Amino acid sequence: MLIENLKQKQKKLTDFYTSRGLHVYFKEPLLSDEIDVEKVISKVESKLPRHLTAEVEMIVFGQFDEFTERNINAAYKDGALYISNIQDDEEDLYDDIIHEISHSLEAPYGYDIYGDENLKNEFLRKREIMHDLLWANGIKIPKSMFMDVEYNQEFDEAMYEDVGYQKLSQLLMGVFVSPYAATSLREYFATGFTEFYTHSEHKFLQKVSPELYKKIILLNDTKELDNSW
């Protein structure tokens, strides 16, 4: 049994290539022996159409300075996904990979996602609702901060340190898919994309964020994408 466990652990720590040619590299091993990385990445490639993973050439597991500086556990940059080697379980890992793949699509499909500003307008309408809900609950944050679609550290800290994730979850139920979706326009898109490919039932996303849902359907459909340029 011990020998078999060692073999399984070694298998999980070995760099490999997927059937789509994606290079998976372990800068540092995952801390959990219960996570089958090959299984999770195989699931990702089975769920996402090939064109939606085309920008990603490599996944690197480990710890990176940017994670500490930005208080994150995953990032996309220059064709590579950088994923923390500290994961709760396979579902957590799957979620992180899908989320970062969404950011890889913003360069090649940015016009399709943001060009008509429908997504931006939907996001800002929700930000206004968010402002009013917080104001009604005694949380007085200037409305101007809610009208910036880019990531704003001051806004982020106000939301998650002063208000708190639990209270935000309660207040924003039915407004955003999750509180993190309110962070910025880019995260609004990424969170919806993750929701779409994490859950087979899409009625919640379609109801809460109809424009976002349309964008993801567009991205998912190769034929429509080809006709959109």
Give this prediction's pTM.
0.89
Burial of residue 78 (number of CB atoms within 10 Å: 0-12, 13-18, 19+): exposed
Task: Report the pLDDT value the prediction gives residue 13, as an integer from 0 to 100.
Answer: 64
Sequence-separated (6 or more) residues with CB below 8 Å from residue 191: 99, 176, 177, 178, 180, 181
Q: What is the mean pLDDT of each run of 10 residues along the chain (229 residues)?
A: 48 82 95 94 97 97 92 95 97 98 97 97 98 93 93 88 88 94 97 96 96 97 50
Beta strands in 122-181 (DSSP E): none
pLDDT of residue 229: 35
